[in-house]
Amino acid sequence: MVSKILIPVTVICLLASCINQEKKSTQMNPFFEAYNTPFEVPPFDKIRNKHYLPAFEEGIKQHNEEIKKITASDKPADFSNTIEALDLSGSLLNKVNHVFSNLKEAVTNDSLQEIARKVAPILSKHSDEVNLNEQLFARVKGVYDCRSSFKLNMEQTRLLEETYKRFVRGGSNLSAEKKLQLQKVNKELSLLDLKFGDNMLTETNNYKLVIDKREDLSGLSESVIEGAADEAKAQKLEGKWVFTLHKPSWTPFLTYANNRSLREKLYKAMYSRGNNGNGFDNKKVINKLINLRLEKANIMGFASWSDFVLDDCMAKTPANVYKLIRQVWSPAIKRAKEEVQDMQTLIDKEGGKFKLQSWDWWYYSEKVRKEKYDLDEEQIRPYFVLNNVREGAFEVAHKLYGISFERLKDMPVYHPECEVYEVKDGDGSELGILYMDFFPRASKKGGAWMTNFREQYIGKDGKNIRPVISVTCNFSKPTADKPALLSFDEVETLFHEFGHSIHGLLSQCNYQGLAGTNVARDFVELPSQVLEHWASEPEVLKNYANHYKTGEVIPQALIDKIVKAGKFNQGFLTVEYLAAAILDMDYHTITKMGDVDIEQFEKNSMDKAGLINEIIPRYKSTYFAHTFSGGGEYSSGYYSYIWAQVLDNDTFEAFKEAGNIFDPKVAYSFRINVLERGGTDEAMNLYLKFRGKEPSIIPLLKNRDFN
């Protein structure tokens, strides 16, 4: 997942009282001067919560002055004094917002959450004031209407088109009445987004399964038991074992714990987050969100939120999204039903007198995998030491693109667990700085994501400003006597998010608005997902998979088992994902506002899709953060993972056709035509320049053994 920072802004009067209280701090505010740090990374050791509000206020003030300078110019609008100037504006606001937004997700606290609640509507208002500035839009439109006379190159043309489109999609062509209506809706949406995320984080952190009988740990590995004991100690429950709703905790419990009733208890707690009828229930929040999104879409002249969102994506229409989903759903649900039968047969064989339920899937699918392939997760986990996997990912990037990574010491970090790397190109030139933050904590939201503290772009002085990228995950922690050992799912997650970081680091664009991962939502997952393919390649595994005790390279026999089992459980994995994508689309193709019974809507959606009872959506509505939080970046966009998987499987096919997964010609073409180009052209055009033809769905179906 890639998380983008949305830059907006202002109701200065709301900040005034806070600013008066912080006058002393503003004099020493680290945001108000150039970062005097190595590589000009944020001085995390000097930034305090008290610095954010003054910096936001000053950032808004400066941005408004820059906008005023553009609109007050007596020179005719052209690309340089309007479009380029606008792209370079708001540097202080970008500066503080990148730090604040990232730290709120990774190391939040009550103070940061309170600041977010104050700032969100202010940023929303400022964004609207920029997008709805009539004088500014008149200049942008003037350049756009006369674009053929300016002799712009391809990237300049693209920036102009994207800038004009952003203003139109931001409401610049609306009537005065509708502009006011839009501003009101945007403000409410920004607050609901925060509310959803805060509720989810609280619900996740509030639950713990406490076990005080050793026999209830039957089936679990010693490393999992040790981790649960460490968690208990941290929560002052020494002598007990604690399992939480963080994925590295609940996943192994559901997969290996023999106590079925406890598996059910933990599983239901996981999927009930935000749906417990307490002060952190998200059903009303969702209801308001989907209605407000529909209202905004209608204001903008679209029948549904999905129509509005997809108009700016590769898919273009809801019909195209549903068409792709159906193409994959049919073979996936067929395979899932076969997997159910395999597990039910095993249950019956063992004398179990019950029908397989959703909370049984992890446990019995692992048993079937062990029976079919003589392979279970605990056999391979000792070979996946986090540090080695990270180095393996670095080596893949080096072999493909010639880049290198050097660990930096004594760098400012926002948390002691952060690792920092300098990234260099093959010729020794600097590409950027990479922060990596791997382990779960109560102050960090769940999941994994890549974002940045600085975009790549060419500055006013012609200097190539290199990016500062961040990869944040929630992996299994090390224990007292073991290093952090990853599941293979976590291995793929590391490669995935690292793939996003490569996209950002290799960017060679002139403008921030087009650089790095600033691409269509259903294209952004291509660079991340394609890198996952290398994680399980035998020659790559032998490079990074070493036993944590003996240093032994993973045996070929075990690699063979991993490869053979690679397509195992694909019915489940595909169906649970597609179910969530369908749920996202169904919510956002609603065309009539009104109260929605969230639980009933979800049931009807899944029944219509034909979801079997033994599987639930990967994300049920009340904790579906991809679509209801994070700025709604993946609303009507969760399908983009499968859309991009068509692209990434077709991309990896190009390497296989060349007979070398590190083929230098294919790698170079992918780098210069996709990774370096950001959003400087239409996504399909970028892909066609790399591949020479449109992508085929066949490699995807083949990779999942669906054809």
Q: Which residues are catalytic?
A: 497
Between CA 340 and CA 328 the distance in angstroms is: 18
- Secondary structure of residue 43 in the 3-state scheme: coil
Q: Which of 483, 473, 502, 484 is nearest to 393 (CA)?
A: 502
Looking at beta carbons, which pairs linking 342-349 to residues 24 or more positions away fall under 8 Å?
342/368, 343/367, 343/368, 346/371
Q: Which two tokens stand for residue 607?
A: 């029944």
Ranges of H-type helices in 300-419: 305-310, 318-349, 361-373, 377-380, 386-401
Between CA 83 and CA 150 the distance in angstroms is: 12
**Sheet strands (E) in 498-622:** none
Q: State the amino acid at position 320 in one-letter form.
A: N
**565 — alpha (psi -120 to 50), left (phi > 0) or beta?**
alpha
Q: What is the dihedral of CA 114, 118, 124, 127, to 10 degrees?
A: -110
3-state helix, strand, coil in the chain (%, to 5): 60, 5, 35
Query: Phi, psi at residue 369, to the nearest 5°?
Result: -60, -40
Place of tokens 């690679």: 566
Place of tokens 């150039």: 34
Asked if 435 contacts 470 with a C-beta cutoff of 8 angstroms, the reply is: yes
Name every residue whose Cβ is closer than 8 Å to that of residue 576 and which is 6 or more positions away in sequence.
615, 616, 617, 618
Between CA 120 and CA 449 the distance in angstroms is: 21
Looking at beta carbons, which pairs linking 157-164 to residues 24 or more positions away fall under 8 Å?
158/514, 158/679, 158/680, 158/681, 159/83, 159/84, 159/87, 159/510, 159/511, 159/513, 159/514, 160/79, 160/83, 162/513, 162/514, 162/679, 163/83, 163/86, 163/87, 163/513, 164/140
Neighbours of 173 (CB within 10 A): 15
